[in-house]
Structure 1
Amino acid sequence: MSTDTTTQSTTDQLPEALTEIAEDFTSVSQQDRLQLLLEFSDGLPDLPERYAGHEEQLERVDECQSPLFLVVEVDPAEGGGAAGDRTVHLFFHAPAEAPTTRGFAGILHEGLDGLTVDEVLAVPDDAPFRFGLTDAVSPLRMRGMVAMLARIKRQVRLKSAV
């Protein structure tokens, strides 16, 4: 039995946006999953000006087959709010000729950007396997998406002091 089938029933542990994305992927054929991944690639926002041309401010995810850089921002706490309630923002940079890597980044951006620190940190580490892509892309590519999520969570911890 593949990981996809085993974990589909546990999508309730994902944040709402990631759950919806996982349901979209697992409800279509494998061929359509690749098309959907390309749509996420096309939808990945450009870096904001403050990061454009400044890749040294971004962290490279070496596990990705194509160059991928990311940076996490955590909004400052306002009015003595708890660190876990602060909002997380994600920014990615990957070349247009790397649609799979960009697609993974697009999924994580759409599913995690704007969540709180606590919500991002609660995302299960196996979340990338819940999109039904393990039979459609190589294990090496899946490793890249797992690494992206791990880097995001590490940066969230560092920047929120949680």
Structure 2
Amino acid sequence: MPPRLAEIIDEFASAPREVVLEMLLEFADAVPALPAELAGHDGMEQVPECQTAFFLRAQVQPDGVVRAYFDCPPEAPTTRAFAGILAEGLAGAGAAEVLAVPDDLYARMGLDQAISPLRVRGGTAILARLKRQVREQAA
């Protein structure tokens, strides 16, 4: 697993519940803007398990590094936070590192105790689709 993502998991897992929501809001504000070529979600996959419109795209670069792109409206801060966590935690990670991210990431972070099961389901679907795209490109 990428070291920065492991740090983020530990930070959330050890944080008091009342601080977790504040931490999520910080990550919601940290989602990088989409590059111009992805405007209009061209080439991005929608994640229908999310209650809000959420789009993602993973690109495995020739050097094996994964670039992940996410788009989610600001009106969905919890879902945007998932994107921010993945964007920061996976920055510079290789395909093998991304594929090694545990599927129960959000439970390991303790988010299943802080947010609704529906939101955790959406976050889990985001990770699953991201990993599927990486796996397909790395094959």
The answer, yes or no, to whether TM exceeds 0.5 is yes
Aligned structure 1 segments of 4 or more residues deviating by more than 6 angstroms? none
Structure 1 segments unaligned to the other structure (5+ residues): 1-13, 78-85
The CA deviation at 1:144 is 0.7
Q: Are the aligned partners of 2:106 and 2:112 in contact in 1 as well (CA < 8 Å)?
A: no
TM-score computed with the length of structure 2 as normaliser: 0.94
Larger radius of gyration: 1
Q: Give, in whole Å, the separation in 2 of the partners of 1:105 and 1:139.
A: 17
- 2:21 corresponds to: 34
Q: Give, in whole Å, the separation in 1 of the partners of 2:114 and 2:71.
A: 23
After superposition, the CA RMSD in angstroms is: 1.2
Q: Give, in whole Å, the separation in 2 of the partners of 1:117 and 1:133.
A: 25
Match of 2:100 among 122, 134, 137: 122
One-letter amino acid of the counterpart of residue 59, structure 1: E
Match of 1:73 among 59, 71, 75: 59
Q: Are the aligned partners of 2:9 and 2:108 in contact in 1 as well (CA < 8 Å)?
A: yes
Q: Give, in whole Å, the separation in 2 of the partners of 1:34 and 1:136.
A: 7
Tell me the matched-pair count: 139
Q: Give, in whole Å, the separation in 1 of the partners of 2:50 and 2:109.
A: 18
Match of 1:59 among 36, 45, 57: 45
Structure 2 segments unaligned to the other structure (5+ residues): none
Q: Are the aligned partners of 2:52 and 2:76 in contact in 1 as well (CA < 8 Å)?
A: yes
Counting aligned pairs with the same residue, the percent is: 52
